[in-house]
Amino acid sequence: MPWQRLADLNIAIIEAFRSALGIATPMVRASELGVEGRGSELLLAICERMGAATYLSGPSGRDYLDESLFAGRGIAVRYHEFHHPVYPQRGTSGFVSHLTALDALANLGPEAAILT
């Protein structure tokens, strides 16, 4: 299937990984939500449109999120700290961290789903 935009190809790849890993969480494009804004205001609008009670950010969100906007609307802000799972990898005597899900799938097959 030819993709007109890189975003469409990326979504197809993400969907393939989601399927292989058994991830069924719904995925929605922000562009389909009819929300506007920039920065924290946009993220807050997305949360409100989706009915979120909590916004989960990566650790760098601490540097730019305006948490008071979220608090004013009753939406909690939490920060995720990623701890890479360790799994057996072929072709190396040690573990190479922070590779893609493709590495886990190539090394573990369907068992990679237990890492999610």
pLDDT in tens, 5-47: 999 999 999 999 999 999 999 999 999 999 999 999 999 999 9
List b or e across 69-107, with b for residues whose CB sees 16 or more CB atoms inside 10 angstroms. bbeeeebebeeeeeeeeeeebeeeeeeeeeeebeebbeb
Place of tokens 């906007």: 69
What average pLDDT does range 63-90 have in this prediction? 94
Is residue 104 pLDDT above 90, yes or no?
yes
Q: What is the pLDDT of residues 58-71, one digit of tens each?
A: 999 999 999 999 99
Predicted local confidence at residue 1, as pLDDT: 66
Q: Domain boundaries in the chain?
A: 37-81
- pTM score: 0.79
